Structure 1
Amino acid sequence: MKVSVDRTRCENLGICASLVPAVFELSNDGTMNLVDPEPGDGLKAFVQNAVYACPTEALRIDD
């Protein structure tokens, strides 16, 4: 699984970082970063929840 972020849509709200801190984080300057762009299958359900929770639809999962 690969996770990607559409930077043109992302508003750095941090919802994804609060849901899956092993994959997403907010940096000190408030920018969302991918900590692990290829997380293991054990995190798939959590990452899917973050994708669905993103109000700007900036997150994507590619298998």
Structure 2
Amino acid sequence: MTGFDWPALMRAGIRGLGLRPREFWALTPAELRLMLGDAAPAPLRRARLDELLAAYPDQAKGRDDGRD
């Protein structure tokens, strides 16, 4: 079985950190990991950066002046 151990994470966040349920559920997994003292997120590698650049280019294709 894979995935999150939600009961353990909720205990850590709500009991351990004193978060309110609304605060707990508003956190991203990375924020919760940081608050629990887990290591910093993995660095962004070149392959992932290339994927993001392809998915979210700075300019729309076919335009070079940046105007609509």
Give TM-score scaled by structure 2 length.
Answer: 0.24
Higher relative contact order (CA 8 A, sep 6+): 1
Instruction: Determine which structure has more spread, i.e. the larger CA radius of gyration.
Output: 2
Give TM-score scaled by structure 1 length.
Answer: 0.25
More helix by share: 2
More strand by share: 1
